[in-house]
Amino acid sequence: MSLHNRINRSELKQKMEGSKEPRITLSFYKYHHIGHPSLFRDHLFQYFSSLDILGRVYVSVEGINAQISVPQKNWDQFRKELGQEITFLEGVRLNIALDDDGKSFFMLKIKVRDKIVADGLNDKSFDVTRRGKHLSAEEVNAKIDQENARFVDMRNHYEWEVGHFENALLPDVENFRTALPVVEEMLKEEKEKPIIMYCTGGIRCEKASAYYLHRGFEEVYMVDGGIIEYARQCQEKNLENKFIGKNFVFDERLGERISNEVIAQCHQCGKKCDTHINCANDACHILFIQCDECAQKYAQCCSRKCQEYMALPEEKKDKLKNKIQFNGTAFGKGRYDALKKDEPLIIDG
């Protein structure tokens, strides 16, 4: 069996978009010492391929971080066998997607990395096993109403822009590595107060809670299972849902609806909207929010420049793509001032 994909990306995506097979999207993670990550990766690829599982998985010496989709017909087998096939995953929580069209992934990628989450921390400098306390959805709601508690979003700004907990502290960062010192600086005078952290599925907060306890914060909590598990518990137990808007997800869906409120705006016209897309110009590919009207006006591009570039003949585009600076080459995710300038494509010669 091949241990890598042999079909090109566009073919796989087209196949998935045309498929009517029901699939279940989920995520899970586990911190665990893995002695030979490359061997584990190959075993996992074979096992997941045998069940036609698609998704993106990171493995390292510290564990596994997985976002996958499983064919509904193989779901019972997957749940039954996962802990038997990989013993340290026995009993691991599976965070099942709340708003799922079954087309979250179209290929299987399993990569070996130094860490399962890029945090920039020296794990040997503090006790990574001394972590904060997990809170259930009921406990989260009670803590939110606690006057001196600080609720902290540990995600990137393009994630919390479309949805977040009420009155949460929202750091303006593009990655988790940056979030850690930024949040510490924001709360440096409040280390005696309770802090409650949350992220998508909980993995970022596991390490962050240990880091902040090491840095002198006295009372550190985290939302058990992240936004996904919180929302599930609210539905199951008929609790008040204090998360407003969408939960950003890192797959083809780019978001799942948690509440009906739309709290973000189209980055081109300012209309209320929380639909993330990537610019249709692959030479740009910037992630941004676009309403239906602007999608039609700009042909799903982030700018007139990208739209005009996309209309060029393929041979012309090939000659120009590395000579033109698009929004995606000039700005990180979520930096959208340039989108409003609407500059035309200018071709010298």
- pLDDT (tens, 9 = 90+) of the chain, 349 residues, equals 556 666 666 676 777 777 788 999 999 999 999 999 999 999 999 999 999 999 999 999 999 999 999 999 999 999 999 999 999 999 999 999 988 888 899 999 999 999 999 999 999 899 888 999 999 999 999 988 877 889 999 999 999 999 999 889 999 999 999 999 999 999 999 999 999 999 999 999 999 999 999 999 999 999 999 999 999 999 999 999 999 999 999 999 999 999 999 999 999 999 999 999 999 999 999 999 999 999 999 999 999 999 999 999 999 998 888 889 899 988 888 677 767 777 788 776 4
The answer to whether 243 and 230 are in contact (CB under 8 A) is yes
> Roughly how many angstroms between the first and final C-alpha of the chain, as a whole number?
51
Q: What is the pLDDT of residue 344?
A: 81
Residue 81 belongs to what H/E stretch? helix 75-85
Helix (H, G, I), strand (E, B) or coil at 329: helix
Q: What is the pLDDT of residue 291?
A: 96
Q: What is the pLDDT of residue 336?
A: 75
Of residues 210, 27, 197, the one with CA closest to residue 124 = 210
The answer to whether 66 and 55 are in contact (CB under 8 A) is yes
> In the chain, at which residue ranges do the beta strands (DSSP E only) sit?
23-31, 54-60, 63-71, 95-96, 108-112, 133-135, 150-153, 163-165, 194-198, 219-223, 243-247, 256-257, 276-278, 287-289
Active-site choice (199, 205, 279, 301): 199
Whole-prediction pTM: 0.89
Q: What is the pLDDT of residue 7?
A: 61
Q: What is the pLDDT of residue 12?
A: 67
Of residues 159, 151, 140, 148, the one with CA closest to residue 223 = 140
Q: What is the pLDDT of residue 19?
A: 75
188 — alpha (psi -120 to 50), left (phi > 0) or beta?
alpha
Residue 199 is a catalytic residue: yes
- Tokens representing 79? 């749940």
Of residues 103, 110, 127, the one with CA closest to residue 3 = 110
Cα gap 78→82, rounded to integer Å: 6
Whether the CA torsion 273, 274, 280, 284 is positive or negative: it is positive
